[in-house]
Amino acid sequence: MGGATVVAAATVPDALTFAIAAVICVGGAFGVVLMRSPVHAALSLVATLFGIAVLFVEEDAQFLAAVQVIVYTGAIVVLFLFVIMLLGVDRKERVLADVFKGQRVVALVLGLMVLAEVVLLGRSRWTTGAHSATGSLEGSGSNVAKLGRALFTAYLVPFEVTSALLIVAVVGAVVLARRPDHRPVEPIEEVEVPLVPGPDDDPFGAVGTDEDAGGSTAPDETASTVPEHASSEPEHEPAEVPST
């Protein structure tokens, strides 16, 4: 949007900065999609977000640039990396595998449609209103001061109301993450067994052999191979707890 004015008043360093940042952005975006390792994909995302931060500086929005780096590259990507690490770093993404049938074709068509829309919107004249009353970048004063002023005048209520959102986040996370009191947390070995199965034995095959052998085999062996048995067993006892 500001692109038009930037190009009009563009000096060579401006154009150069824009070009380099744009290349970083788009290159990073491709990296996110095409990298085989999830960690590399997340790091490519850092490149994209960093490129956007550079563009913000170019647009005279220094505060946004700083926030972009601190929040997105600093916090959100680190969160992604945490999740990736927890789920297993070693798993390679099969980039070319179709998860849903026909997904690739649909994605391509939709992507082209979005591209066409962007081009169409870009070609038509962008009618924008009067310069924003609350956040105009023209005139004197620093970016941060203007933003702070807007937050505490025009956007005071939204700013205050955000606190309710934070409370929701806390309560919601506690409710969803907390296990019910009466259900014991599953022991670790029961979780780990199905995640790392032996190289040659099939856990489901093992169920069959255990059942064939009858009830004479040790019960803890079934419990360790089949997580369903282990988790459903303690459920019967706690069912009585709330009724008392």
Partner 1 sequence: MTGSTGVLGALAAHLLGAGGLVLPHLNYSTILPELILLGGMLVILAASALSPRPLPTEVYATATVGLGIASLIASLVLWRDVTSHGAFTAIARSIDVDGFAVFFLVVVSCILIVAPMFAAGYLRREGITGCEYYVLALISGSGAMFMASANDLILIFLGLEILSIPLYVLAGLDHRREASGEAAMKYFVLGAFSSAIFVYGIALTYGATGSTNLAEIGAFLSRNVITSNGVLLGGLALLLVGFAFKVAAVPFHMWTPDVYQGAPTPATGFMAAMAKAGGFAALLRVFVSTFPTLRTSWQPVVWVLAILTLVLGAVVAIVQNDVKRMLAYSSINHAGFVLLGLEAATARGIAGSLYYVFVYSLLVLGSFAVVAAVGGNGDADHDISRYRGLGRRRPVLAVGFAILLLAQAGAPFTTGFFSKFYVVEAAVAAHSYALAVIAMGSAGVAAFFYLRVVFVMFSDVGIAGASDVSRGGGEIARAGAVAAEVREQDATLLGGAGASAVATLVAPAYVAAPELAPEGTPSEPEVSVSPWVTTGLVLCVGATLVFGIWPQPLVDFAHQATLIF
- Interface residues with partner 1 (CB under 8 A) are 1, 120-121, 124-134, 141, 145, 149, 152-158, 161-162, 164-165, 167-169, 171-172, 174-176, 179-181, 183, 241-243
Residue 226: name the closest of 210, 214, 238 by CA: 210
Residue 141 or 199 having the CB closest to partner 1: 141
CA distance 109 to 34: 18
The nearest distance, CB 118 to partner 1, in angstroms, is 10
> How buried is residue 153: exposed, middle or buried, by Cβ count under 10 Å (0-12/13-18/19+)?
exposed
User: Min. distance of Cβ 175 from partner 1 in angstroms?
Assistant: 5
Q: How far apart are CA 122 and CA 115, in angstroms?
A: 10
Q: To the nearest whole angstrom, how small is the minimum distance from the Cβ of residue 191 to partner 1?
A: 18
Name residue, tokens 């806390």: 170
Query: Closest Cα to residue 3, out of 19, 26, 24?
Result: 19
Taking the complex as a whole, the smallest distance from the CB of residue 179 to partner 1 amounts, in Å, to 7
Q: Which residues contact 34 (CB under 8 A, 6 or more apart)?
A: 95
Which one, 209 or 232, has the nearer CB to partner 1? 232
| Burial classification of residue 70, based on how many CB atoms lie within 10 Å of its CB (0-12 exposed, 13-18 middle, 19 or more buried) | exposed
CB of 168 to partner 1, least distance (A): 5
Q: Which is nearer to partner 1, 20 or 116 (CB)?
A: 116
Q: CB of residue 149 vs partner 1: minimum separation in angstroms?
A: 6
CB of 109 or CB of 213, closer to partner 1 = 109
Nearer Cβ to partner 1, position 126 or 204?
126
Structure token digits, residue 76: 């959100």
DSSP letters for 97-126: --SSTTHHHHHHHHHHHHHHHHHHHHHS--
* Residues 40, 31 contacting (CB under 8 angstroms): yes
For residue 8, give the amino acid letter: A
Q: Which of residues 9 and 167 has its CB atom nearest to partner 1 in the complex?
A: 167
Q: Which of 176, 180, 134, 141 is nearest to 158 (CA)?
A: 134
Q: Which is nearer to partner 1, 83 or 89 (CB)?
A: 83
Q: How far is the CB of 162 from partner 1 (least distance, A)?
A: 6
